[in-house]
Amino acid sequence: MSDRPPFEPGRTSSYVHPEFSALATHELTEALNGLLADYFALFVKTKGFCWHVTGPNFLEHRTLLAAHAAGLFKVIDPLGERVRKLGGTSLFSVEDIVRRQRISKSQVTDISAQRMFAVLRDDNQQLLCCLREAHGLCDGYGDVATMSLLGVWIDEAEARLWHLHDSSGAIDSAMPSLSGGISRMPDRDSEGGS
């Protein structure tokens, strides 16, 4: 065990990882706690959409959203435990989640299934960026164990993104762009030309 003082003020963890400096522990646990908050927030949003999805493909949509919610939920415990293994303090409250989350806060539930998929697609893209950023941080500190976990979670996020992209494709041709205009995608039939 190291004789260095803990980096975080008010830190409740007495465990100090033998291979990482106090600064490394602080930066790694901050990044992972941000991801933990994002996973909680995205799980709740995905589950909420699962409960409220309607339409002609209700069962297919509900099954996809339920599977995505379950996949998000299964990451939460290993992620929180990894923070503890590094010698940090995991999240303690809903306030911690709200303060740290980077996933968009949406209160809208009365939207089409395709719009739900588009919102979740954007949120999963945000999560994927945060996962890759944390992976790079872990690489810089030589945290191979966390990098390994993050690699699996990156792959899972890419799969969700792919599913959501294909499921929300119909809405892309009529979605307002960020500049306020209408974004038009070329028809798939006209792409190849004749």
Q: Quick one: 22-177 is in which CATH superfamily?
A: Ferritin, core subunit, four-helix bundle (1.20.1260.10)
- What are 102-144's pLDDT values in tens digits? 998 877 767 899 899 999 999 999 999 999 999 999 999 999 9
Cα dihedral sign, 185-187-191-194: negative
Query: Cβ(136)–Cβ(158) under 8 Å?
Result: no
Q: Which residue has the higher pLDDT, 188 or 3?
A: 3
**pLDDT level of residue 180 (50, 70, 90 thresholds):** very low
Q: Is the pLDDT of residue 87 over 60?
A: yes
Query: Cβ(86)–Cβ(25) under 8 Å?
Result: yes
Retrieve residue 184's tokens: 């038009």
Q: Enumerate residues 6+ apart whose C-beta is below 8 A from 134.
A: 31, 32, 34, 35, 146, 150
**pLDDT level of residue 55 (50, 70, 90 thresholds):** confident
Q: Average pLDDT in the 92-108 region? A: 89
